[in-house]
Structures are given as structure tokens and as C-alpha cells.
Amino acid sequence: MTIDYFHEITSHLVNDERPSVYLNDISKEALFKGQPFKMLSDLKETPQNPVHHPEGSVWNHTMMVVDEAAKRRNRSEFKEAFMWAALLHDIGKAPTTKLRKGRITSYDHDKIGRELAERFLYKLTNDDEFIKQVAAIVRWHMQPLFIAKELPFSDIEGMLSEVSLHEISLFSICDRLGRGNMTPEKAEEEKKSVEYFTKVCREYVEILN
């Protein structure tokens, strides 16, 4: 049954104009009460900092990112992995989200997310290369923000050892735009931030070479 759902979900992720419609429908089924899908269902009850995520829960954000990714999936090097990464990229937020000093935070959700994404996918498929590609995007999806803002968590070398600059930059656009109240001005600002991230990474590679 789960294998059938894996192929069904993949088909919607790579073909639907708005995969979120299907995903929202299937999320109401009994399937999402059991593992591994409960890891996604938990995102519906996981809040986010309203300053950065006015759309609400992690699930709401995820659905918006999936639809943004669908607009760009044909530019991906491996669109199946790209789209599954969109679905699973914040799976680590459920266990890491906490209220700290009045702020909702989810520290290390990218690192925990890799482990959970791998656990999730190994329940559905034995395709090691596919799982590796999805998990790499999940693990490094915060780096465009860290690097653009010159935060101490930046790790260009580690990131580029596992995922291509093209793929993580493309994914970052989807992640940044998949938020509520995204005005044209804000969208342009987010795109410029990703462009700066890409520029910094390219300069880093040139120095090494």
C-alpha cells in the first residue's frame, strides 16, 4: 500500500500544476495517522514565527513551497528528488520547534530533518541515490540564508560536497517565496538574496581553484 502511495504522490508532485491540492486532500485520510506519514501530519500542528511565516503552520508553508517548486521543477537536475525535498524540507521542525524567550524557534531542524527525511523515504523506497539527493537538499536548505547573512552556521564547502549550487539555489527561491503576504517587492528582495548567495559561493569556489 505504501509503495503505491509513493508512486502516486511522486506522480502528483512532478505533474500537477498545484500539487498542494492533492496533498491537502490525502492528508485527511487515515494514511496520515500512521508512520511515516504522521511526520508530515504533525506539521499541521507545528507553529512558526509569524514575523517570517505569516501563513501559519509548517504544513501551510510546506504546501506553498511545493507549489512554488512545481513552477520550477523542470529546471531541476532531478525533479523527482527536488519535489520530494520540497515536501520534506521542514519535516525536522515538528520535533525541534520550541518557544524560547517568547519566540518560536526550530534550531537545527535542517540537520534533524535530514535524518527524518531518510527515515521517511526508506519506508517507501529502496532507491539509495534518490534518498541521498532528497536528504541533501533537506540538510542544506538553510545555507542560502546563513551564507547570505554571513552567519556562523555557514558551511559552503560542506554544502557543495553534497548538493550542486544550481539545485540548492533553485530550491531556495521556492522556500523563500513560499510564504504568506509575499508582495512583489518582497519577492524581488528574496530573489536578490539568493542571487547574492550564489555569487558568494561561486567566488568561494574560484578562490579554491
CATH number belonging to domain 2-208: 1.10.3210
Q: What's the pLDDT score for residue 4?
A: 82
Q: What are phi and psi of 145, to 5 degrees?
A: -70, -45
The domains of the chain are located at 2-208
**Burial profile 126-141: b = 16 or more Cβ within 10 angstroms, e = fewer:** eeeebbebbbbbbbbb
CB 32 within 8 A of CB 41: yes
Nearest partner of 178 among 87, 78, 45, judged by Cα: 87
Q: What's the pLDDT score for residue 208?
A: 82
Q: Which parts of the chain have pLDDT scores under 50?
A: 1
Q: What is the 3-state secondary structure (H, E, C) of 181-204?
A: CCCHHHHHHHHHHHHHHHHHHHHH
Q: What's the pLDDT score for residue 1?
A: 43
For the chain, first and last CA: distance in Å? 49
